[in-house]
Amino acid sequence: MYADRHAREFHPASLSVAVGVNVVLIGALLFANPPSVFKKPPDTTLTTTNIPLQPPPPPEPALPEIQPRESVAPQPAPRPVPDLTTLPVDVAPAGPVFSPPPPLPPIEGGVIGGTGTARVVDPPKPPSVFTGPQVDPRYAGQFQPPYPSAEQRMGEAGRVVVRVLVGTDGRVRQAECVTASSDGFCRATRERALAKWRFKPATRDGMAEEAWRTMSVTFVLED
């Protein structure tokens, strides 16, 4: 066996390099995989808040029961107020008057199955048609009597209801005051009726005949 003739020499620079390489390797390992750090989660606190509930809506009011409207009969229209300056008017309207037919005579005869002579009964006559006197429009402007002078001086107004008998020729045969505001109004109305009033005579079945008629006359002073 041969001894090593060449003793190894110690080099300090080589040692320093080796130590530095190791330090670098260790540091690289540390920075490559940094240690995991676990953080404590923050404490959480549950906070509750009381929210007031909305009250339930009030119940809807009950609808009122609709009662059916009662039908009301229409009121008759008021009668027009007569114009005081118009011509005399009738107190009662005149129209056709029908007479009732005469009763049928009893039928004479025997019992059922008997013999005898049949009696022919005449048919009843139709009822007669009566039409009262009518104002003749040709003389309508002459119906208003003249104003009595005494009543005119005193400024009095008046009204007269007169009943006249109209003849077959349409003239007034008689005149009677039913009501009058004064004797002067009555006298003026009677004289006017007998002198100037003209009518179409009353008829019965087309034949003229005398008949009564009631008229109203008004006296009014004009401003």
DSSP codes of every residue in 48-83: --PPPPPPPPPPPPPPPPPPPPPP-PPPPPPPPPPP
Beta strands in the chain (DSSP E): 89-90, 97-98, 129-131, 134-135, 158-166, 172-180, 199-200, 202-204, 207-209, 211-219
pLDDT (mean) for 211-222? 94
User: Would you give the DSSP letter of residue 174?
Assistant: E
CA-to-CA dists, residue 25 to 20, 22, 33, 36, 143, angstroms: 9, 5, 13, 20, 155
Q: What pLDDT score was predicted for residue 89?
A: 58
The residue assigned the tokens 């129209």 is 95
What does residue 190 show for φ and ψ, rounded to 5 degrees? -65, -45
Q: What pLDDT score was predicted for residue 124?
A: 84
Query: What are the residue ranges spanned by the domains of the chain?
Result: 142-223
Question: Could you report the per-residue pLDDT of 116-174, keeping only the tens digit for each?
Answer: 566 777 888 888 899 999 999 999 999 999 999 999 999 999 999 999 999 999 999 99
Question: Could you report the per-residue pLDDT of 16-73, keeping only the tens digit for each?
Answer: 555 555 555 655 555 555 544 445 555 556 566 666 667 777 777 666 666 666 666 6
Report which of residues 10 and 119 the model is more confident about.
119
CA atoms within 13 Å, Cβ hemisphere of 58? 3
Q: What pLDDT score was predicted for residue 122?
A: 80
What does residue 121 show for φ and ψ, rounded to 5 degrees? -100, 130
CA-to-CA dists, residue 18 to 10, 15, 30, 97, 130, angstroms: 14, 5, 19, 163, 166
pTM of structure: 0.47
174/165 Cα distance (integer angstroms):
5
Helix (H, G, I), strand (E, B) or coil at 148: coil
Q: What pLDDT score was predicted for residue 58?
A: 74
User: Would you give the DSSP letter of residue 137?
Assistant: G
Q: What pLDDT score was predicted for residue 184?
A: 96
Q: Are 137 and 166 in contact (CB under 8 A)?
A: no
CATH among 3.30.1130.10, 3.40.50.300, 3.30.70.20, 3.30.2420.10 for 142-223: 3.30.2420.10
Q: Is the pLDDT of residue 7 over 50?
A: no
4/10 Cα distance (integer angstroms):
16
